[in-house]
Amino acid sequence: MARTSTILMLAVMGCGQSGAGEELLSPSTSGDPSGSVATDGTDATGAPPTTNTSTPTSADDGVDTGASAGDSSGDESGGPPPAPGCGDEVCDVLETCSACPADCGPCPSDCGDPQVLCVDDGAGPSQEFADIQSAADAAVAGDTVLVQPGSYAGFQISRSGEPDARISYLAVGEVLIDQAITSGDAYDGCVDEPTGICIVGSDELEGVHDVAVEGFHIVDMARSCIASHSANPGIAGSSGPHQRIVVREILCERAGHEGLYLSEVGASLVEANEIIDAGADGQPRGHGIYMANAGCDDTVIRANAIHWDGQLGPSEGAGIHFNGDESVDGNGGGDGIITGLVVEGNVIRGADHNGLNMDGVRASSVVGNIVHGNSRNAMVVYAIDASAGAGDLRIVGNTFVVPEFASGAAIRLEQDDGGHVIFDNILINESGGPSISLGNAEFTSDYNAVIDAFAFDEGDMSLAQWQAQGRDTHSLVVASAEVFVDADDLHLRADAPAIDVGVASLAGVDAPSYDIDGDARPHGAAFDLGADERSR
């Protein structure tokens, strides 16, 4: 369920380090009438995307703009951010030992502990199992499968834990999964579509629950680094989606299709993962993260870094695609919408499609994300497969930049039922399109940094016309060069007009307490606009 008050934001922790947080993607058709155009590979400010050759064992690019680490602005603490729920002495249901040892205790390390199943690809005292699948087949609620450094084949997870005794799959150091699942007993969908870690419900479509996978480095899977299958949306009388699944600190490189294909994953946490160059098989499709189907309600998608380096991604690959698909066979369609999402602190760059591509997402929060350098809308909500389009969205503190080569809006809300609250955002559009395009008059938008272009019900409007209807009366027109440090660093300049002109709340919705760097906000006289609070 959506957080009702302060939304905290986390930056990304290094792999397996302490301090990160607690709790906390159809069709190619996008609902984007403007379509996709030139793909010259430039980023938000015209420079070519930089190639990321940095550390393969951490997801720490999630806190910057996908390029330089943001140090040039000099206002980042660089330390671990306060984590929501971490430090309250309760190991919350989606909190893990690696994210919050203060509450959950240190991660287990003793292979002699009967609840620790040690896997090592080399013989020795830490080799209780030589492959991860054998340990997964033996694990019961409360167990930790501790995978020692090495190279492994993928594995399938079908066993569930309990809310107070999950089954954890924890990588120690560099654990490389470079072969897809090979087990003869694996679900066909995990073998026919080669996958690194496959989460598979029962034949009756009863989802897996209370499982965490953390710290794995997964490369070159023909389909996906992680995929889930065989669950349903949990409508009355059905057995339920996957629930309370934690996917943290996965480094996913060059997946053939989607990086993370998470079908019917509800009340779960997808945090601090880095997905690089998804859709590597040359076909059009390849989303960074795909939240598939209407059972994905109440999931937190936080502090993930999704980027394509050196060139744009595949032509039908969104940064994060959400698909509230009403049409799934059997009762798999559920209510046809995805609600209660928290999408915060993610950085998306280089998609040749929409950054946040949301079919049927309603009653959800989109907070503190940086979405830039993609070739269509930064964020679009619509109904194609879903039973309904945009409704009751909270869009706060984001930095959305639509580059010149793109075609789209910073925010586009279609099949719009209204009820949205939009504030403290930077919504720059260099493509000739609008900052905001929507179609229902029932919404609140103000205190944004915008351009002089809006659209209502597909009719273009100037800022003055928009303001004449009482919208964005405190918002200001900006250009990238005025607000950002440079082309690769979307932190605020010292003299950015976006500094100290935001508000702590609007229409009952609070601004986030932490910025993209994990720094507390507000700093200084007031909230800054966008995902970065300038803190010096």
- The residue ranges that bind Ca ion (CB under 5 A) are 85, 88, 90, 92, 95, 103, 294, 297, 335, 500, 515, 517, 519, 522-524, 528, 532-533, 535
Q: What burial class does residue 363 get, using C-beta atoms within 10 Å of its C-beta: 0-12 exposed, 13-18 middle, 19+ buried?
A: middle
Q: Long-range contact list for 105-114, CB < 8 A, 24+ apart? A: 107/16, 107/144, 107/170, 108/144, 108/146, 109/146, 109/172, 111/146
Determine the Cα–Cα distance for residues 126 and 252; give it in Å rounded to an integer.
Answer: 26
Kind and range of the H or E run holding 463: helix 463-467
Question: For Ca ion, which is the closer residue by CB, 191 or 492?
Answer: 492
CB of 523 to Ca ion, least distance (A): 5
Question: For Ca ion, which is the closer residue by CB, 79 or 173?
Answer: 79
Return the C-alpha torsion angle 349, 353, 358, 359, nearest 10.
-160
Question: For Ca ion, which is the closer residue by CB, 240 or 522?
Answer: 522
Cβ pair 264, 324 in contact under 8 A: no
Question: For Ca ion, which is the closer residue by CB, 210 or 532?
Answer: 532
Question: For Ca ion, which is the closer residue by CB, 276 or 294?
Answer: 294
Cβ pair 250, 225 in contact under 8 A: yes
Q: What burial class does residue 106 get, using C-beta atoms within 10 Å of its C-beta: 0-12 exposed, 13-18 middle, 19+ buried?
A: exposed
Question: For Ca ion, which is the closer residue by CB, 196 or 240?
Answer: 240
CB of 95 to Ca ion, least distance (A): 5
Question: For Ca ion, which is the closer residue by CB, 345 or 373?
Answer: 345
Question: For Ca ion, which is the closer residue by CB, 167 or 337?
Answer: 337
Q: Report the b/e string of 478-513 with b at 16+ CB within 10 A.
A: bebebbbbbbbbbbbbeebbbbbbbbeebeebbbbb
CB of 241 to Ca ion, least distance (A): 9
Q: What burial class does residue 459 get, using C-beta atoms within 10 Å of its C-beta: 0-12 exposed, 13-18 middle, 19+ buried?
A: exposed
**Most distant CA pair in the chain: distance in Å?**
73
CB of 179 to Ca ion, least distance (A): 35
CB of 522 to Ca ion, least distance (A): 5
CB of 150 to Ca ion, least distance (A): 32
Question: For Ca ion, which is the closer residue by CB, 253 or 533?
Answer: 533
CB of 321 to Ca ion, least distance (A): 16
Q: Which amino acid is at 356?
A: L
Beta strands across the sheet bearing 379-382: 155-157, 195-200, 224-229, 260-263, 289-292, 320-323, 356-359, 379-382, 411-413, 436-438, 454-456, 459-461
Question: For Ca ion, which is the closer residue by CB, 206 or 335?
Answer: 335
Kind and range of the H or E run holding 268: none
CB of 338 to Ca ion, least distance (A): 5
Determine the Cα–Cα distance for residues 507 and 523; give it in Å rounded to an integer.
Answer: 22
CB of 211 to Ca ion, least distance (A): 19
CB of 260 to Ca ion, least distance (A): 19
CB of 454 to Ca ion, least distance (A): 26
Question: For Ca ion, which is the closer residue by CB, 385 or 517?
Answer: 517
What is the DSSP code (8-state) at residue 31?
Answer: S
What is the DSSP code (8-state) at residue 102?
Answer: H
Determine the Cα–Cα distance for residues 421 and 407; give it in Å rounded to an integer.
Answer: 24
SS3 60: helix
Q: What burial class does residue 419 get, using C-beta atoms within 10 Å of its C-beta: 0-12 exposed, 13-18 middle, 19+ buried?
A: middle
